[in-house]
């Protein structure tokens, strides 16, 4: 398990390339939830998602160890984050994407000057390709979540939150592979254990919830959820002990509830958040958290939504 000092070191490593994102508030959202609700706005982070925090911490380390380029297997927020950070630190990045990647995701990676390698349809095929490319010539693979430096980087959100808000009762965090919640749990529970941390998964991607019940990593069959950042089918190896040790609860939200939360935040707060982050707002709106008149922080992990996907969610 990582410790608070790892998260503090990560903050020193990344503060120059990562934005301290604002906290947003809305009376309408608070009223609808029956609590004081604050949004930690990582959708306003550079590259539009928190992934850059972990990626920056990890890429700095591998560059320090002599890597001449980095690779990653992801057409989503992780791929963009790695491309962005590599450019910032002056090294090359090759991002391995599916053969059928959608055009605007490619464009986002290319905008950060990331090289593209198309490969296959399954995540494991692409990870193998990223590893192969790295091993061919002094490169390093940057994993999306199952790595101590990635987890520590994501944990910097927890440190920032404790600086920004004096009174927090509950922090609500989305769970995909689990790097984000593991980092936030480490930071918050080691500094202020009275703050509750609740994880949220889509009902159809409840691998962490089931693994916690079973007391062991358990994979589920393929997931179909609009929250594309939360489609992991099993929790990362490093995360389960951290979540088991610290988490107060894991709750589930339905696809309709996720879409409703995207619409509510767009309509009432004029903020475009992606479904993977909207799970936290859905949990607050649909009373999954079981709190009343409390100060609740929903972590808004990102805002990258394909516009055609957005249009489908509006009806
Ligand atoms: C990656 C991602 C998540 C999930 O983070 P994990 O560390 O994999 O649990 C949630 N929201 C968004 C927007 C993401 O990009």
Residue that is last in its domain, among 141, 172, 188: 141
Secondary structure, 3-state, 76-144: CHHHHHHHHHHHHHCCEEEEEECCCCCHHHHHHHHHCCCEEEECCCCHHHHHHHHHHHHHCCCEEECCC
Residue of the CA atom closest to atom 14 of ligand 1: 229
Q: Is the pLDDT of residue 80 over 80?
A: yes
Give me the pLDDT at residue 154, please. Answer: 98
The predicted pLDDT at position 235 comes to 87
- Give the pLDDT confidence score for residue 169 in this predicted structure: 98
Q: Are 158 and 246 in contact (CB under 8 A)?
A: no
Do 101 and 177 lie in one domain? The reply is: no
- Nearest-angstrom CA–CA distance, 79 and 97: 8
CATH number of the domain bearing residue 99: 3.40.50.1100
The average pLDDT across 261-277 equals 97
Angle at 191 between CA 6 and CA 35, to 5 degrees: 125
Do both 38 and 65 map to the same domain?
Answer: no
In this prediction, residue 10 has a pLDDT band, given cuts at 50, 70 and 90, of: very high
pLDDT over threshold 80, residue 166: yes
For residues 40 and 177, state if they share a domain.
yes
* Residue 123: per-residue pLDDT: 82
133 with 46, same domain: the answer is: no
Residues 303 and 245 in one domain: yes
**What is the structure's pLDDT at 43?**
98
Q: Are 208 and 178 in contact (CB under 8 A)?
A: yes
176 CA from centroid of ligand 1 (Å) = 5
Tell me, what DSSP letter sits at residue 192?
Answer: -
- Report the chain's terminal Cα–Cα distance, integer Å: 43
pLDDT at 256 over 80: yes
Burial of residue 86 (CB within 10 Å: 0-12, 13-18, 19+) is buried
Q: Which ligand 1 atom is nearest residue 76's CA?
A: 15
pLDDT confidence of residue 101: 84
Residue 121 has pLDDT above 80, yes or no: no
Residue 222 has pLDDT above 80, yes or no: no
Q: Are residues 296 and 164 in the same domain?
A: yes
Give phi and psi for 97, each to the nearest 5: -120, 160
pLDDT band at 299 (very low <50, low <70, confident <90, very high): very high
Mutate to test the pocket of ligand 1, among 75, 229, 238 (most ligand atoms within 8 A of CB): 229
Is the predicted pLDDT of residue 143 greater than 90, yes or no?
Answer: yes
pLDDT at 223 over 80: no
For residue 186, the CA-to-ligand 1 centroid distance in Å is 17
Residues 13, 130 within the same domain: no
Predicted confidence (pLDDT) at residue 226 exceeds the cutoff of 90: yes
Residue where one domain finishes, among candidates 107, 141, 175: 141
Res 24: pLDDT: 98
Q: Tell me the residue range of the domain where 76 lies.
A: 51-141
Identify the pLDDT of residue 213: 92
pLDDT at position 124 is 86
Q: Distance between CA 281 and CA 278 in Å, rounded? A: 5
Residue 122 has pLDDT above 90, yes or no: no
Give the pLDDT score at 99: 87
For residue 58, CA distances in Å to 115, 125, 148, 176, 287 come to 19, 22, 9, 19, 37
Q: What is the mean pLDDT of the chain?
A: 94
| Ligand 1 mean position, distance from CA 180 (Å) | 7
pLDDT digits (tens, 9 = 90+) for 174-216: 999 999 999 999 999 999 999 999 999 999 999 999 999 999 9
Average pLDDT of 47-69?
97
Q: 122, 141, 160: which is the final residue of a domain? A: 141
pLDDT of res. 231: 87
CB-defined site of ligand 1, < 6 Å: 49, 51, 77, 145, 174-180, 229-230, 274, 276-277, 301-302
* 22-26, 119-123, 170-174, 203-207: least confidently modelled range: 119-123
Instruction: Assess whether pLDDT exceeds 90 at residue 309.
Output: no
Q: How confident is residue 91, by pLDDT bands cut at 50, 70 and 90?
A: very high
Query: For ligand 1, atom 3, which residue shows the shortest CA distance?
Result: 229
CA–centroid distance, 173 to ligand 1, in Å, is 9
pLDDT average, residue stretch 120-127? 85
Instruction: Please count the structural domains in the chain.
Output: 2
DSSP letter assigned to residue 286? T
Ligand 1 centroid–CA 132 distance in Å is: 25
Q: Are residues 70 and 136 in the same domain?
A: yes
- The minimum-distance atom of ligand 1 relative to the CA of 43 is 13
Angle 308-311-314 (CA atoms, 0-180°, nearest 5)? Answer: 155
| Mutation test residue for ligand 1: of 77, 143, 274, the one with most atoms within 8 Å of CB | 77
For ligand 1, mutation pick of 41, 49, 186, 304 (most atoms within 8 Å of CB):
49
Which atom of ligand 1 lies at the shortest distance from residue 304's CA? 13
């Amino acid at each position: 398990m990582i410790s608070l000092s790892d998260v503090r070191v990560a903050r020193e490593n990344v503060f120059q390339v990562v934005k301290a994102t604002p906290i947003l508030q809305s009376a309408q959202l608070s009223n609808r939830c029956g609590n004081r609700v604050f949004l930690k706005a990582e959708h306003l982070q550079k590259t539009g998602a928190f992934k850059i925090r972990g990626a920056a911490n990890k890429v700095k380390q591998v560059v320090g160890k002599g890597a001449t380029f980095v690779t990653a297997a992801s057409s989503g927020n992780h791929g963009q984050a790695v491309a962005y950070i590599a450019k910032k630190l002056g090294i090359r990045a090759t991002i391995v994407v599916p053969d059928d990647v959608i055009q605007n995701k490619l464009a986002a990676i290319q905008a950060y000057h990331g090289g593209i390698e198309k490969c296959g349809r399954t995540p494991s095929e692409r990870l193998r390709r990223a590893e192969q490319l790295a091993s061919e010539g002094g490169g390093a693979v940057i994993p999306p979540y199952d790595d101590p430096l990635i987890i520590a980087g994501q944990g910097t959100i927890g440190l920032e939150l404790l600086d920004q808000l004096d009174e927090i009762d509950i922090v609500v965090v989305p769970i995909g592979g689990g790097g984000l919640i593991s980092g936030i749990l480490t930071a918050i529970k080691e500094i202020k254990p009275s703050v509750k941390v609740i994880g949220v998964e889509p009902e159809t991607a409840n691998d962490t919830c089931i693994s916690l019940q079973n007391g062991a990593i358990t994979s589920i069959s393929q997931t179909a959820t609009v929250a594309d950042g939360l489609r992991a089918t099993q929790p990362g190896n490093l995360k389960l002990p951290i979540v088991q040790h610290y988490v107060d609860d894991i709750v589930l939200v339905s696809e309709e509830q996720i879409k409703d939360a995207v619409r509510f935040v767009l309509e009432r707060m004029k903020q475009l958040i992606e479904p993977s982050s909207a799970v936290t707002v859905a949990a607050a709106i649909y009373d999954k958290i079981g709190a009343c008149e409390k100060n609740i922080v929903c972590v808004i992990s990102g805002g990258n939504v394909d516009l055609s996907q957005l249009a489908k969610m509006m009806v």
